[in-house]
């Protein structure tokens, strides 16, 4: 059977879950990848079983499932060089006095809590909803202390880069150990500004944490295409580490090219940009090749639409995106197509 079709709620954080759930169903989705935001899943209320049950009640009422929770914004702060930007994406109790190391430590503890909450929440899934095809999963970011060294001038020493991966391992290994205790996977969305942003850096990140069994990836081709990274090869390279998958499109080479891959300090949808995120089917990603590769590695988890297209109405776009994903997702064959020619099978 085809994989579950879900939508990531992060880009809809301005709506109450009670309002988003029926809209998501109407747009054609079977479930939600729920962002831990005040309107969708308030982690400060996670000790209240009635609150958790209430989240499931909303989903069940609208015929929706949930296979993953997202805590991208908090995860970003675990390894980052903290500044005023992070205050805007954090709750006050996590920001505190803004001392950078204090923020990183509180973010780390919150990610450990996220693992525990995810396990508890997923264990409360109503019997009327299908069990998850993958272990409980948290999608998110890691942050990076060395992203600022992306372009190596003044020359960056090998030791400086190595120290960044060591910092990542020191901060995330204790978090991942808690994920392991809870039987929950952490799926990093490989993405510029994270410790892993392409195939080479993803390999290095895995090595840094000694291939921790709970560390894998939230596959999203939109972050690879415009970089020139082979987004299909990523699936095959990390076949046993694809814990979740985002469906998001991107185009590149379509603007006036006054701003290149690095963006030129322009805003999204500026016509001078070399690349921009697009709604599925309006960009340059070859989703046919992605589905073939996901089938080849046996991925059976959800396909989660992360809808981002500043040129299009989001309800129109997300509705069309659901239709597009259904049109190109197909189950893998469980037989050899030419086996029917064997007389023993006739």
Instruction: Look up tokens 């697009």; give the residue.
Output: 278
Residue 152 has pLDDT above 90, yes or no: no
Neighbours of 40 (CB within 10 A): 23
pLDDT digits (tens, 9 = 90+) for 52-99: 999 999 999 999 999 999 999 999 999 999 999 999 999 999 999 999
Residue 345 has pLDDT above 90, yes or no: no
CATH code at 5-345: 3.20.20.150
Instruction: Look up tokens 């090219």; give the residue.
Output: 257
Distance CA 301, CA 160 (A): 37
pLDDT digits (tens, 9 = 90+) for 27-41: 999 999 999 999 999
Encode 118-132: b = buried (16+ Cβ within 10 Å), e = exposed: bbebbeebeeebeeb
Task: State in Å, rounded, how far the first CA of the chain is from the last one.
Answer: 25
* Residues 280, 305 contacting (CB under 8 angstroms): yes
- pLDDT-based confidence at 339, cuts 50/70/90? low
More confident residue, 334 or 233: 233
Mean of all residue pLDDT scores within the chain: 95
Range from 38-42, 131-135, 213-217, 330-334 carrying the lowest mean pLDDT: 330-334
């Amino acid at each position: 059977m085809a994989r579950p079709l879900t939508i990531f709620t992060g880009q809809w954080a301005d709506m109450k879950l009670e309002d988003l759930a029926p809209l998501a169903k109407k747009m054609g989705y079977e479930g939600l990848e729920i962002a831990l935001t005040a309107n969708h899943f308030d982690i400060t209320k996670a000790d209240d079983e009635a609150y958790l049950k209430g989240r499931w009640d909303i989903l069940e009422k609208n015929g929706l499932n949930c296979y993953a929770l997202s805590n991208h914004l908090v995860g970003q702060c675990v390894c980052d060089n903290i500044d005023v930007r992070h205050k805007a994406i954090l709750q006050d109790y996590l920001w505190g006095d803004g001392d950078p190391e204090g923020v990183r430590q509180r973010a780390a503890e919150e990610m450990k809590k996220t693992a525990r909450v995810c396990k508890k929440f997923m264990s409360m899934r109503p019997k009327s909803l299908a069990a998850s095809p993958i272990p409980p999963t948290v999608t998110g970011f890691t942050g990076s202390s060395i992203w600022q060294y992306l372009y190596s001038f003044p020359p960056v020493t090998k030791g400086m880069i190595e120290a960044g991966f060591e910092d990542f391992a020191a901060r995330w290994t204790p978090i991942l150990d808690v994920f392991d205790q809870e039987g929950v996977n952490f799926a990093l969305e490989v993405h510029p500004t994270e410790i892993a942003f392409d195939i080479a850096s993803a390999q290095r990140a895995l090595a840094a944490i000694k291939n921790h069994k709970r560390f894998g990836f939230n596959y999203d081709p939109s972050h690879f295409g415009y970089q020139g990274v082979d987004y299909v090869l990523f699936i095959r390279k990390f076949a046993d580490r694809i814990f979740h998958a985002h469906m998001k499109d991107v185009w590149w080479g379509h603007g006036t090219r006054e701003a290149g891959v690095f963006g030129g300090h322009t805003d999204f949808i500026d016509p001078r940009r070399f690349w921009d995120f697009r709604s599925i089917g309006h960009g340059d990603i070859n989703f046919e090749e992605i589905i073939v590769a996901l089938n080849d590695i046996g991925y059976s988890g959800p396909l989660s639409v992360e809808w981002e297209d500043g040129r299009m109405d989001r309800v129109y776009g997300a509705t069309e995106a659901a239709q597009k994903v259904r049109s190109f997702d197909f189950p893998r064959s469980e037989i050899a197509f030419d086996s029917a020619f064997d007389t023993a099978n006739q």
